[in-house]
Amino acid sequence: MKKQQEKKIKKINEAWDDIFNERMSRHYDELKWLYYELYNSDKQAFDYFCGMLYKYYSERRASLKELDRKRLKNPDWYKGNDMLGMLMYVDCFAETLKGVEEHLDYLKEVGINYLHLMPILKSPVGRSDGGYAVSDFKNVEPKLGDIKELKSLADKCHSEGISLCLDFVMNHTSEDHEWAVRARQGEKEYQDRYFFFDGWGIPYEFEKTVPQVFPQTAPGNFTWCPDAQKVVMTTFYPYQWDLNYGNSTVFNDMTENMLYLCNCGVDIIRLDAVPYIWKELYTNCRNRPQVHTLVRIMRIATELVAPGTLLLGEVVMEPKEVVPYFGTVDKPECHMLYNVTTMASTWHTVATHDVRLLKNQLEKVFSLPKEYIFLNYLRCHDDIGWGLDYPFLSQFGVEEVAHKHFLNEYFQGRIYGSESRGELYNDDPRLGDARLCGTTASLCGIEAAEYEKNEGKLDQGIRMDIMLHAFLLTLSGPPVLYSGDEIGALNDYTYHEDGLKCTDSRYLHRGKLKWDEVAKRKDSKSREGRIFKALLKLEKLRVNHKVFDSPADTWIVETYNNQVLGIGRYLNGEKLIALFNFDGLNQTAWIEENEDYTDIVTGKPCSSKHVVVPPYGFVWMVHKF
């Protein structure tokens, strides 16, 4: 049967080499079926698509093909307990791509082997949404470097055992992109690559069912284009024009742009805003079935051209909408997804000191197949949205609007007892809703403690910061630090003075890395040194204990104390009980474990019954059978 399939593929294109033919033989029937279903059996478009895939396969550098072969032999290479990521803006970390390359020694010192660079492709100044309005998918923003320097950085990362991740902004382009420029000039072919309408009739129909992403800063989902004298769909910002993936040319060309990045040496493609890419009248234009078809085809495309590449889905949706983006075991879509709900639930727990919501969220994650890999994080480049499980919280008398208000007041330091320092983003008084910004350290109270020169509060803030990172490292899947968190970087308020940034409070936690503070990491008495040393110790423990591997069994340990979260892990004769106190007082975890345990942080035997966990402290206790 396999030989017949191979002959069929070769008959389609005799020019393809044996390796590509062998890969295509495994995927051709499904690829054709999916593509034809989506694009009305357009043979010409499909043949072009297949030819484009072979072009990028044949142009892939020998060093990258060798990396593909190694990863194909170890397909779980990204699932181990040795993975540790860092997310950064190039200009904030080291000004340029060359600067990042020159500082790889520091990243190695931190323990990083997964480097995610925030958008670096060319985009207009002042109309880029932090680089998410791309005007050229094949060129780097000049102030950061060029494609040659991107390839050089990728090669250097690979030589140091570091995987490189880039954002692929696929829902829209900048209004300055060549396609948009030609669409504005009236060329129908290019207007068809977007959603153009002669008047507001159809857009008004869309608005009845499509939610607004930024109701305060960018209300509505459409913008009048005076040059074309038409209305264009702009889901996010007026300068970001939504692409029409119902047009096969758009999909072909955007897949080509993605593969171009793969061939530059990018190992992980972050599919930005992927749930939004299929638009359909009288729907909410989110998570449509066609989105999954598109992502599945993109997964096949990477397996044909660059099989060592991973797809990371950015799906900031409720849990029931997130999991389908893994696809199935037989027909996978994304390799990894963000664990966004756990992140939001974690900060809720910091504010409430009540672990019940977090327990409930983690139980859902722990029940999923171990093949499903989540990327875990405390903070990222974006805001914290309070998309919590309010039906679950309602049984405790929690009302959604009032609770969101409480959380935002708490993290702005406006509630008695809160030392957090954050700012709101996209505040919508009409709905009583807003999102939150701030660095991990500032939200933990470290900023306020240093301002007040209060050593007691500083100790508490640092303990909380370290405890939260211990929790992050306890979860299955790669943990990702936000650049600066390794030294407890604080909020940067200088954005208020920048005319291009002052209206976007997310720049509060997007400040430049202060290398004079980095230098203090060697000082064990400084805030920077205390956090840096603690994180390195936790990372080393995680690497040295296979129980932190993703295949481990995971469960919630009942502590009979709503202030203490308990997590259990077991793998190959090693059992971990992890306890996290989200309260400012000593709390007892009323557990009854029968084995003998060692606290792996202190190296000393420890009690496994009625364990007292210090304020904002944690315990990692291990038993080996």
The residue among 621, 616, 583 whose CA lies nearest residue 465 is: 616
Pull the structure tokens for residue 274.
């992927």
Report which DSSP code applies to 124.
Answer: -
pLDDT of 428 reads 72
Q: By C-alpha distance, which of 550, 547, 552, 581 is closest to 566?
A: 581
Greatest Cα pair distance in the chain: 76
Q: How far is CA 345 from CA 86, 354, 370, 384, 572, in A?
A: 21, 10, 21, 10, 30
What pLDDT is recorded for position 1?
A: 47
445: left (phi over 0), alpha (psi -120 to 50) or beta: left
Structure-token match 């194909």, residue found: 72
562 contacts: CB under 8 Å, gap ≥ 6: 354, 355, 356
Interval 506-522: pLDDT, tens: 999 999 999 999 999 99
CA–CA distance, 55 with 266 (Å, rounded to integer): 18
pLDDT single digits (tens) 177-189: 999 999 999 999 9
Q: Is the pLDDT of residue 432 over 70?
A: no
Q: Residues, the chain, total?
A: 625
Has residue 119 got a pLDDT over 90?
yes
Give the per-residue SS3 of 352-393.
Answer: HCCCHHHHHHHHHHHCCCCCCEEEEECCCCCCECCCCCHHHH
Q: Which pLDDT score, from 0 to 100, does residue 208 have?
A: 96
Choose among 471, 481, 472, 474: nearest CA to 580.
471
- Letter for the amino acid at 60? R
- pLDDT digits 0-9 by tens, 257-293: 999 999 999 999 999 999 999 999 999 999 999 999 9
The fraction of the chain above a pLDDT of 70, given in percent, is: 97
The residue type found at 65 is K
CA distance 444 to 462: 8
To the query of whether residue 314 is one of the catalytic residues in this protein, the response is yes
For the chain, helix (H) and strand (E) counts, in that order, are 23, 25
Do the Cβ atoms of 408 and 424 come closer than 8 Å?
yes
Q: What is the DSSP letter of 421?
A: -
Instruction: Taking the CA atoms of 260, 266, 271 and 272 in sequence, report the sign of the dihedral they define.
Output: negative
CB contact at 8 A, 228 and 184: yes
pLDDT over threshold 60, residue 12: no
**Whole-Å CA distances, 149 to 42, 94, 120, 143, 265:** 39, 14, 12, 12, 11
Q: Which amino acid is at 6?
A: E
Q: What amino acid occupies position 190?
A: Y
Sheet with 196-197: strands ordered across: 196-197, 230-233, 222-225
Q: How far apart are CA 127 and CA 176, in angstroms?
A: 9
Residue 119 is classified by DSSP as -
Residues 370, 366: Cα–Cα separation, whole Å: 8
pLDDT, one tens digit per residue, over 577-625 is 999 999 999 999 999 999 999 999 999 999 999 999 999 999 999 999 9
Give yes or no for residue 9 having a pLDDT over 60: no
Q: Catalytic residue among 176, 242, 314, 528, which?
A: 314
Quick: pLDDT tens for 225-235.
999 999 999 99
Measured CA to CA, the distance from residue 474 to residue 567 in angstroms comes to 8
Res. 446: pLDDT tops 70:
yes
What average pLDDT is seen over the chain? 95
Concatenating the DSSP letter of every residue in 282-321 gives: TS-SSS-HHHHHHHHHHHHHHHHH-TT-EEEE---S-HHH
DSSP characters over 569-624: EEETTEEEEEEEE-SSS-EEEEEE--S-EEETTTTEEE--EEEEE-TT-EEEEEEE
Contact between 611 and 588 under an 8 Å Cβ cutoff? The reply is: yes
Report the phi/psi class of residue 525: left, alpha or beta, with left for phi > 0 and alpha for psi in -120 to 50: alpha
* CA-based nearest residue to 593, from 613, 605, 614, 607: 607
Strand 336-338, strand 373-377: pairing: parallel
For 463-477, what is the mean pLDDT? Answer: 98
Predicted pLDDT of residue 321: 81
> Does the annotation mark 192 as catalytic?
no
Enumerate domains of the chain plus CATH numbers.
2-72 (no CATH), 178-242 (3.90.400.10), 345-544 (3.20.20.80), 551-624 (2.60.40.1180)
3-state SS, residue 255? helix
| Annotated active-site residue in 272, 333, 492, 539 | 272
Q: 240-242 and 196-197: which strand pairing? A: unpaired
User: How many angstroms separate the CA atoms of 308 and 70, rounded?
Assistant: 8
Are 293 and 34 in contact by the 8 Å Cβ rule? The answer is yes
Q: What's the mean pLDDT in 487-500?
A: 96
